[in-house]
Structure 1
Amino acid sequence: MGQWWGEESITIGIPALVLLGLIMACWTAAAAWTLFTVRRRSLTSRKDRLRLLRMVRMMDEAPGLPMIIRADGRIEASDRIADWFGLETLPRTIHDLAGSDARGVSVAEIDDLWQHCRRTLSSAAPFRLMLHPHAKGHALSVTGHLADPQISRGGAVLVWIIDASDSANEIARLTDDAAKAHADFAALVGLIEAAPIPMWFRGLDGRIRLVNSAYVAAVGAENAEEVVSGNVELIETTDGVSPSEVAHQARDSGHPIERNVMVTIDGERRAFSVSDLPVGSEGVAGYAIDVENLEQLSREYRAFRGAQRALLDQLSSGVAQFDSLRNLNFVNLPMQRLFRLPSNIGQEGVPVGELLNIMRDAGRVPEARDFPAWRREKEAWFTASDATDEEWVLPDGTHLRIVAQPMPDGGLMMIVEDRTEQLQLASARDTLLRVRTATLDSLFEGLVVLAPDGRLQLWNRRFAAEWSLSEEFLGSHPHIETLLEALRPQLASPGDAQRIGMVIEAATLRREQTGGRVALADGRTLALMGMPLPDGNGMLTSLDITDSQKAEAALLERNQALIEADAVKTRFLANMSYEFRTPLTSITGFAEMLRDGVAGELSDTAKEYMGAILESTARLSDQIESVLDLTQSEAGLLPLAQEVIELMPLVTRLVHDRASQIEDARLTLNLRGDRSAGTVRGDPRRLARALGNVLDNAVASSPHGSRVNVDLRRRRDGAHIIIHYQLGAEGAEAELARQNAGLGLPLARELIEAHDGKLEFMQHANQGVTATIKLP
């Protein structure tokens, strides 16, 4: 433990009364010596006798009395001493001075006195001790030395006894006070030394004189002497003012100075509350309390309060906080909007009464006949024992719920909830419930809603009529088992009741949609459907499909006939296409032979006619091929080759094949793409036919002077071929486009879908069309 204040001892000097007693004892001894001298002289002289009487009288009135204690224990003294010892007469021996508890001196003290006397007789050593008679409560100071042989030839001890009661009491009191002061000082030093906070004391010169162990540890010194000798400061100079200068200011003003400063301890900056206390004219004491945790809590509280107020600003409810003086100290944004308050009102400390006046001026409080009385009622919120809940209806029809919650510190929190929309929604809900009931009653299906526990919740009149159930029975909200028992007599097969229960169970418990049909005993057929509802309930609907079932059977028969007719049509078209192809091939072959001069040279007119014949047969052959591919594709019989096709070369070839057609239409075709478009697997001939049909449609549909854009792109889902063009062709070109669209585009779609692709068209507001071909 460090050293505080240094080691000091308290020495109590001999009081003045004790000194006075010693002086009197000396004076008495001188008088006794004179008496003995006079006794040795001749007493014949009257003058000497008178002098002797005066001396005896002086000795009797002296504060100290002599007593002779001989070697055999006999004593000689004045009778006055007996009164000091609390005895009536002077005893003969020293041991008789020891009396009972009420008289004399204790046996231990008399024995101690006798031992000192014997030691003095043997060694001539003087002694001094204190006696304490029982009766008088006196304190007798005893001083003894060897008596002169002239006084007692057989050897004796002359003892001087002085009544030191007052001095002893004073000495005892001072001794007790000194012991107590020493104990208190030691306790104070120990307390200061054990204090966990740094403490120090400065002299009048401002230098550190004393420190405790906490100070030594805080500055990282070895001991207190090192701190004092080096005047090591714990507190740094702040704003140009050193710690010693602050101590001088406290000494000069006579008042403590407290301040918060940052102190570096063990390499960590912490906040300390430092106090300098003037200690009279001795110097200035100081101590430092670590308030870093308090500062941290304060910072956290400020951050929490800021976060809380930011959160309150995000609420839809208005919140206002009042302090113990009933002044407004916070209002959130919804509160400002609800009551149309100024934006800075929460910073002005407005009293609650004045706030109500502002609300009234803005028309945001209920109409009151006696507004001052109404306002006083609201001020009573602060003294209420519980929260107050009120409903305010404002002049504009706004409904507000006001909750006033008194706070433990005497303040108040006011929470405002705008319930206008809630009330409107409640009214709308009531209306919706009535509309729902009317809607359900007007449905063609019978309908019931059952809870997961199997209880009937809701039904419509159609259900009651279909199953011949009474309103009283349904109004009792029967369990599903009871409901099925009521439905069983209506069924053609009683076992169907179990099927209905399974449909209801799937909808309510398994949350699955199921259905089925049941036949009634009266010949009707009902279609059942069980559906889970979002609120956890299940709905069962029943629809009379007796008539629709008959119509369905008729439609099935008709549909079967149509399917057979479509198959006949498909076979007819396939056969006709094949039959057309053979004579068309012969016509094309003979026409080519005539054109080449096999039958002789033709005239120019004949050659022109022959070219027209070949062009028409080529077009007809193409149409027949399209019809054949289309019919085979619809029938799922179209054979496709599986080859790797490079898209960019394929599209480039298709564009080059139509160069003359594009030039004749005075169009501009832009082809954008490269080898990154990649490859696809499919039939090159049929894929080229599909892409060519789409491109032909774009060229034929575009007006003269327009532009056709063809883009090839590779996406995650495959290759995209995008053809963008404008609509607006007129005359023969438009007619040709419509013809091609009538057969070419459906064939293109079929061929592309046969390659697992997709053909999409999108028409824009500016008469633009985008055809997108997606191939995997």
Structure 2
Amino acid sequence: MLLDARQIERVSGKARIILLAIEDITERREIENGLEKARKELASTKIAEDEAREYAESMINTVREPLIVLDQDLRVVTASRSFYSVFKVNPEETMGQLIYDLGNKQWDIPKLRDLLETILPQKATFDNYEVEHDFTTIGRRIMLLNARQIERVSGKERIILLAIEDITERREIETGLEKAHEELTELATELKRSARVKSEFLANMSHELRTPLNSINGFSEVLYDEIFGPLNEKQKKYVNNVLTSGKHLLLLINQILDMAKVEAGKMKLTLSHIPLKSLISEIALLVEDMASKRHLQMALEVAEDLPDIEADELKVKEILYNLLSNAVKFSPEYSKIGLRACRKGTEIEVIVWDTGIGIATENMGKIFEGFFRVDTPYSRLSEGTGLGLPLSKNMVELHGGEFSVESEGLDMGTTVRFTLPIVSEKAV
């Protein structure tokens, strides 16, 4: 209740009275309170909207790529700092403008119109739409566009967020990579063709040389064995020189032919049951004469229970001969070489070692290249093509084994390890 009291004098002036007015203002207070609450809610909503707007604009300005916000009429509501920076424009010529009128109408593209004008009605999106254009301020560029619909805080109005990414440099890199890939593919094709031609040439030349050389070696052996009559000491020495050189030349030709087969992917295996222990003894006996001429001690450590293997016998012989003869050739006189063979799980491990010239660290990556030879006084004095090691590695790997070479440096010796699969010990 609202009370209002006043003093009133009588007409006679001798006595005074008090007039008390009482008014019920309950409904008015309720209306006033409701209005005040509504005012506060509106103020709170206004603050929330302002805060939301500031937050959204802060987020937009934080993004590295250009962003613009469009209203329902596709006019620019706001744009990120990076948009102004990338396109070299200012807010005055951007805000409130229809997107199709920006710059030199760079976005006025029929396909882009269709995409943008379906976003709000259909709640659609679009991704990775490319625009290549000669922009007035930044020249010819390739832009990647992505767009989404976003509802305002009030929920009554929807807007479009348009993200723009300059992918010009990326496209140039991709184009460069594609061109480089094409060039590398062409180069690889040419290299394969050249390798094939070289392999065919080596194979043909080796065949042409090997045929007459076999005849020379055959006749030399006949002469050396004095089948056609006796030879004096000098004649026998010369015939032996011819035979020795012929056999060495035939070995080199065979290595070149094998290398050509490896490079052409034509080397095949003829597998058979091999008693490896006796095979090692056989090859060691062949190399022993070479070793004795250089006064080398050769140590053989072959496990008594060394099992047989399923392998190509001729190629295993060649591997063993290559490695042991290398150990002899690259070791100084009166030094030691050796071979160890034992079982390692499901494999045979063979180690050929020497105390010779070793391999320099910088040459370790080259030793499996065809025709590479370490340049040392020993290598200059010894014969060879540099094919023994790469051929041996290829033949081991063709069997499914592993091949490695270790050396701590020059004059520190060399250790070669290789493995070969084991055949069942019950095999006949």
TM-score, normalised relative to structure 1: 0.31
Whole-Å Cα distance in 2 between the matches of residues 604 and 678 of structure 1? Answer: 46
Change (3 A) 1:560 1:599: same
Q: Work out whether residues 690 and 748 of structure 1, in 8 Å CA contact, stay in contact via their aligned partners in 2.
A: yes
Q: Does 1:753 align with 2:421?
A: no
**Greater relative contact order (Cα < 8 A, sep 6+):** 2
2:173 aligns to what?
544
Whole-Å Cα distance in 2 between the matches of residues 770 and 457 of structure 1? Answer: 65
2:355 aligns to what?
726
**Pick from 368, 382, 388: which aligns with 1:744?**
388
Cα distance, 1:567 vs structure 2: 0.7
Whole-Å Cα distance in 2 between the matches of residues 648 and 665 of structure 1? Answer: 25
| DSSP 3-state at the match of 2:403 | strand
2:417 aligns to what?
772
Change (3 A) 1:600 1:727: closer
2:271 aligns to what?
642
**Bigger Rg, structure 1 or 2:** 1
Whole-Å Cα distance in 2 between the matches of residues 701 and 456 of structure 1? Answer: 73
Cα distance, 1:574 vs structure 2: 0.8
Whole-Å Cα distance in 2 between the matches of residues 665 and 457 of structure 1? Answer: 82
Q: How do 1:255-266 and structure 2 match up within 5 A?
A: none
Deviations 1:642-673 (A, max 9, x none): 11222222212211221111111111122112
Q: Work out whether residues 630 and 750 of structure 1, in 8 Å CA contact, stay in contact via their aligned partners in 2.
A: no
Whole-Å Cα distance in 1 between the matches of residues 61 and 332 of structure 2? Answer: 66
Q: Which amino acid aligns with 1:610?
A: V
Cα distance, 1:485 vs structure 2: 4.6
Q: Does 1:624 align with 2:253?
A: yes
Deviations 1:652-696 (A, max 9, x none): 221122111111111112211223232221111111101210111
Cα distance, 1:632 vs structure 2: 1.2
| DSSP 3-state at the match of 2:332 | coil
Change (3 A) 1:487 1:768: same
**Pick from 201, 208, 212: which aligns with 1:579?**
208
1:168 aligns to what?
none
| DSSP 3-state at the match of 1:719 | strand
Change (3 A) 1:696 1:472: same
Change (3 A) 1:559 1:692: same
Q: Which amino acid aligns with 1:673?
A: V
Whole-Å Cα distance in 2 between the matches of residues 457 and 668 of structure 1? Answer: 81
**Pick from 325, 328, 339: which aligns with 1:710?**
339
1:763 aligns to what?
407
| DSSP 3-state at the match of 1:659 | helix
**720-729 vs 684-693, greater mean Cα deviation:** 720-729
1:334 aligns to what?
none
Q: Which amino acid aligns with 1:652?
A: S
Q: Which amino acid aligns with 1:734?
A: S
**Pick from 290, 296, 299: which aligns with 1:661?**
290
Cα distance, 1:731 vs structure 2: 8.2
Q: How do 1:478-489 and structure 2 match up within 5 A?
A: 485=126, 487-489=128-130
Change (3 A) 1:524 1:603: farther
Q: How do 1:230-379 and structure 2 match up within 5 A?
A: none
Which segments of structure 1 move beyond 6 Å, counting only runs of 4 or more?
455-461, 522-525, 729-732
Question: How many residue pairs were aligned?
Answer: 271
| DSSP 3-state at the match of 2:305 | helix
Instruction: Calculate percent identity across the aligned residue pairs.
Output: 27
Change (3 A) 1:683 1:580: same
Change (3 A) 1:740 1:753: farther
Q: Work out whether residues 524 and 546 of structure 1, in 8 Å CA contact, stay in contact via their aligned partners in 2.
A: no
Cα distance, 1:591 vs structure 2: 2.4
Change (3 A) 1:727 1:489: same
Q: Which amino acid aligns with 2:215?
A: S
2:182 aligns to what?
553
Q: Work out whether residues 338 and 354 of structure 2, in 8 Å CA contact, stay in contact via their aligned partners in 1.
A: yes
**Pick from 313, 319, 327: which aligns with 1:698?**
327
2:195 aligns to what?
566
Q: How do 1:143-158 and structure 2 match up within 5 A?
A: none
2:131 aligns to what?
490
Whole-Å Cα distance in 1 between the matches of residues 306 and 334 of structure 2? Answer: 29
Q: Work out whether residues 252 and 385 of structure 2, in 8 Å CA contact, stay in contact via their aligned partners in 1.
A: no
Q: How do 1:371-410 and structure 2 match up within 5 A?
A: none
Q: Work out whether residues 396 and 402 of structure 2, in 8 Å CA contact, stay in contact via their aligned partners in 1.
A: yes
Deviations 1:197-256 (A, max 9, x none): xxxxxxxxxxxxxxxxxxxxxxxxxxxxxxxxxxxxxxxxxxxxxxxxxxxxxxxxxxxx
Q: Work out whether residues 403 and 416 of structure 2, in 8 Å CA contact, stay in contact via their aligned partners in 1.
A: yes
| DSSP 3-state at the match of 1:675 | coil
Change (3 A) 1:603 1:743: same
| DSSP 3-state at the match of 2:190 | helix
Whole-Å Cα distance in 1 between the matches of residues 62 and 280 of structure 2? Answer: 65
Change (3 A) 1:497 1:653: farther
Deviations 1:87-124 (A, max 9, x none): xxxxxxxxxxxxxxxxxxxxxxxxxxxxxxxxxxxxxx
Cα distance, 1:758 vs structure 2: 1.6
Q: Work out whether residues 195 and 263 of structure 2, in 8 Å CA contact, stay in contact via their aligned partners in 1.
A: no
1:602 aligns to what?
231
Deviations 1:605-649 (A, max 9, x none): 222211111111111111111111221122221231111222222
Q: Which amino acid aligns with 1:602?
A: L
2:13 aligns to what?
none
Change (3 A) 1:673 1:592: closer
Change (3 A) 1:485 1:707: same
Q: CA RMSD in A?
A: 4.0
Q: Work out whether residues 713 and 720 of structure 1, in 8 Å CA contact, stay in contact via their aligned partners in 2.
A: yes
Q: Work out whether residues 128 and 145 of structure 2, in 8 Å CA contact, stay in contact via their aligned partners in 1.
A: yes
Change (3 A) 1:460 1:654: farther
1:242 aligns to what?
none
TM-score, normalised relative to structure 2: 0.55
Q: Does 1:687 align with 2:328?
A: no
Change (3 A) 1:612 1:649: same
Change (3 A) 1:487 1:641: closer
Q: Work out whether residues 297 and 337 of structure 2, in 8 Å CA contact, stay in contact via their aligned partners in 1.
A: yes
Q: Work out whether residues 694 and 744 of structure 1, in 8 Å CA contact, stay in contact via their aligned partners in 2.
A: yes
1:388 aligns to what?
none
Deviations 1:360-415 (A, max 9, x none): xxxxxxxxxxxxxxxxxxxxxxxxxxxxxxxxxxxxxxxxxxxxxxxxxxxxxxxx
Q: Work out whether residues 697 and 740 of structure 1, in 8 Å CA contact, stay in contact via their aligned partners in 2.
A: no
Whole-Å Cα distance in 2 between the matches of residues 722 and 457 of structure 1? Answer: 68
